[in-house]
Chain A
C-alpha cells in the first residue's frame, strides 16, 4: 500500500509540474481509436483546488490547442494487447496532436477502459482527538479503512472518499472544521489488473512521455457527459466503446461504482462481418452508415449493397435489406445492454433515488439505441454528449470523445484521492520502533 501511495504521489507531482509548465497531453487509449488532446493551461499560477471537487463550470482555465485521433491498433477490450502496435498508434496520435499544437508535450494523462475494474466500498471510523475535525483526522479516518483483499496482481486505480459522516450527520462533503466525536468515511476504491497498468506504462515510456495521471475511462466519461444535477442526484453513465462498455454510477458528485462489460461496438462489427460474410472494414462501414436497432417497414425496402474482394462475382455483389442488417446487429446490442443491466442490478442501482441512465461512447450512436435501451434499462435513458470545452475541434465533439473530454476535465480539476491526504504521522514511529525491536532481538 505504501508503494501505491508513493507512485500516486509522484504522478500527482508530475501533473502539477506539467500544469505549472502550462502544457499537458490527454491520451484516451480505446479499442477502436486512440485520441490525443493537448491542453494549455492559461493561468497555471492558480492552484488547483485540492480540497474540493471540481465544479463542471470550471473548465475555462484550459484550452485545447491540439487534437488528433487515429485508428487504434493492438488494443483489445480496452487493454493493450500488442505493445509495439499500440505504441505506434500512440505515437501517431501524439505526433499529430503536437503538430497541431505546435508544441512539445512531455506529460500525459491516460485513461484506461479495460483491466477488469472492480469497485470496493470501504469505510473507516476514527474518534476525534480534539473536538474539531482537521486534516489529520481526515487522514486518520482514511487510514482506518479496512482494505479488502484485492487479489493477486491487482492495483488500486482510484480511491476516493465519497462521503463523510460525523456522529449522526452524514453526507458531508468536507468535514473539516466541523465539531463532533466520531468521524467516519466511506471510500470508493477501484482496482484493476496490475499487468494492464504496467503494459500501459511501458508503452507510454517507449513514446518518451511521462505518465502524469491515470484514470478509469468510465469515470472520466461520466465526468464529461453527466450534467451537474445528474451527478448530484445519482445517475449511471454507460460509455459504449469499441471493445468494452464501461459503466459508472455517480451520486453526490462522486463515483460510487464502476464496472466494465467486455463487449462493445467491435463485437457488433464482428457479428456483421461473420453473419454477412464480408470483410471487417466493410462491415464497419455498413454499420456506421446503415446500422440501427429498431426495424420498421421502411427498412425492408432499403437495399444495401455488400462489397467483398473474394473475386467471386456472385459473392461480392450480394445485397441485403437494412432490416436484415438490423436483425444481425440488434441481438448483440441487446446482449450488451442486458449485461449492463445485470451489472447495474448487482451494484444496487435500482435502490438509488434517481434512475437516470446516460448512454455515451462511440457505439451509442447507433440510431434507435435510446429506444432499445429504455426498454432494457429503464425509462430514464438519454443519449449523452460530452461538455463543450474551449478550443475543441468540431470533429471531436461527438459522444465518442466523452472519455477524452472527461480526462481533460479530470486533469484540470482532479478529485481528492486517498493519497492526496498526508499519511498519519503515528504510523511511521510505530513501524520503525517495531523494526528497532526486531533488530535488537535478531542481534542479541
Chain B
C-alpha cells in the first residue's frame, strides 16, 4: 500500500548555514583556535576566577605549605643522631651546647651554614665541617685549637694557641698538660716570638719560669727565684742566645744575680741580689781595706 501523504525526500544539499559552518570548521586557524585556544582560554579563565579570591589564595598556599611540611617530615629526611668527632670531651660538650639542636629534626630545617658559623664561633674550635649523612646522621667534624701557652692575665691564667687565640680559662681545663707560661699585657700578640724564645731558652731547663711582656714592648725571661733576664725590643732571641752563651761560660745564672739586663746590646748589666750586694760590699770593704792600704800604700 502506498501512503496517501507522500513524504518528500529530504534535500540532500546542505543548507547555507551548514555549508558555512563546515567551511569555518575546515579553516585551519579556526580549528586550531577551537582545539587549543578555547580550552586553554577556558582553563585560564576558570583558574583565574578561582584564584581571584584572597581566601582561596591563602588556602592554596596553606595546602601547598602543608604538603611541603608533610614531605619534609618524612622519616627519610629526619636527622636523629648528632655525631661530633675530632674534639675532646669538654669541647664536644661545648659544641653540642652551641648547636642546641632539638633532635629529631627534619633535614630541611637544618641550616648547615649557620650551624657551622655557630660552632666556629666557639673559642676552642678552629674549624668545623658539618654534614648530613644517610641514616639521619648529622656529623660534625671539629678541629680543636691546640693550646700552646698559658697566659697569665689579671683575670687568671688562660690557654691560648700558637696564634695567640684565646681557647679557655685554665680553670676550665684542669687536665691541661704543662705548657710554657707567658704573662704581661699584649703577650698574646707576639706568641711567635715567645715560641722562639722558649725554644732558645730550652737549655735553661727547669730554671725557666716563663716570659713576661713588659710594657707591650719587650720580653723578660723569668727564672726561678724571680730572677729575670731583660731582653731588648729587637733581637731578643740573639740577646738571649748571648746570655745563654755567657751562662755556659761563666755559669752566670747559678750566681747570685737578680736580673741580667740585656737591653743595651753594648753593655750587659747585671743586678745582684741585695744579699749578694751586701756580701759583695762586705767583701769589697774587706778587700778595700786591704787594697786601699795597698793602693794607698
Contacts and interface: CB of A to CB of B under 8 A. Distances in A.
A134 to B, nearest CB: 43
A435 interface: no
B17 to A, nearest CB: 11
Contact of B20 (A99, A102, A208, A311): A208
B23 A98 contact: yes
B26 A103 contact: yes
A92 interface: yes
Given A104-B27, A311-B2, A88 B13 contact: yes
Interface residues of B, number: 14
B14 interface: yes
Contact of A95 (B2, B19, B28): B19
A104 B26 contact: yes
B13 A91 contact: yes
A92 B12 contact: yes
Contact of A91 (B2, B16, B26, B27): B16
Interface string A90-129: 0110110011001110000000000000000000000000
Interface in B110-146: none
Contacts of A88: 11, 13
B23 A104 contact: yes
Contacts of B18: 95
A207 B19 contact: yes
A113 B234 CA distance: 126
A89 interface: yes
A91 B14 contact: yes
B292 interface: no
B26 A92 contact: no
B57 interface: no
Given A95-B19, A98-B23, A70 B2 contact: no
B58 interface: no
B85 interface: no
A117 B119 CA distance: 107
A208 B18 CA distance: 13
Tell me which of A92, A98, A104, A309 has the highest count of chain B C-beta atoms within 10 A of its own C-beta.
Answer: A104
B22 interface: yes
Given A104-B27, A311-B2, A99 B22 contact: yes
Contacts of A98: 22-23, 26
Contacts of A92: 12-14
Tell me which of B2, B14, B19 has the highest count of chain A C-beta atoms within 10 A of its own C-beta.
Answer: B19
Nearest to A101: B26
B20 A95 contact: no
Nearest to A309: B2
A91 B23 CA distance: 11
A104 B12 CA distance: 20
B163 to A, nearest CB: 81
A311 B16 CA distance: 38
A208 B19 CA distance: 9
Contacts of A207: 19
A70 B13 CA distance: 9
Given A104-B23, A104-B27, A95 B14 contact: yes
Nearest to B19: A91
Nearest to B16: A91
Interface in B160-178: none
B26 A208 contact: no
Contacts of B14: 91-92, 95
Contacts of A70: 12
Interface in B188-229: none
Interface string B13-50: 11010111011001110000000000000000000000
A389 to B, nearest CB: 23
Nearest to A207: B19
A104 B28 CA distance: 8
Nearest to A88: B13
Nearest to B27: A104
Contacts of B28: 103-104
B4 to A, nearest CB: 12
Contacts of A103: 26, 28
Contacts of A91: 13-14, 16, 19
Given A91-B19, A207-B19, A311-B2, A102 B13 contact: no
B13 A89 contact: yes
A67 B37 CA distance: 31
Nearest to B20: A208
A412 to B, nearest CB: 23
A99 B27 CA distance: 12
B215 to A, nearest CB: 99
Nearest to B30: A104
A87 B275 CA distance: 145
A94 to B, nearest CB: 8
A32 to B, nearest CB: 16
Interface in A307-361: 309, 311
Given A95-B22, A309-B2, 4 more contacts: A91-B13, A95-B18, A207-B19, A208-B19
Interface of B: 2, 11-14, 16, 18-20, 22-23, 26-28
16 contacts: A70-B12, A88-B11, A88-B13, A89-B13, A91-B19, A95-B19, A98-B23, A98-B26, A99-B26, A102-B26, A103-B28, A104-B23, A104-B26, A104-B28, A207-B19, A309-B2
Interface of A: 70, 88-89, 91-92, 94-95, 98-99, 102-104, 207-208, 309, 311
Closest 6 CB pairs of A and B: A88-B13, A104-B26, A92-B13, A91-B19, A104-B27, A95-B14
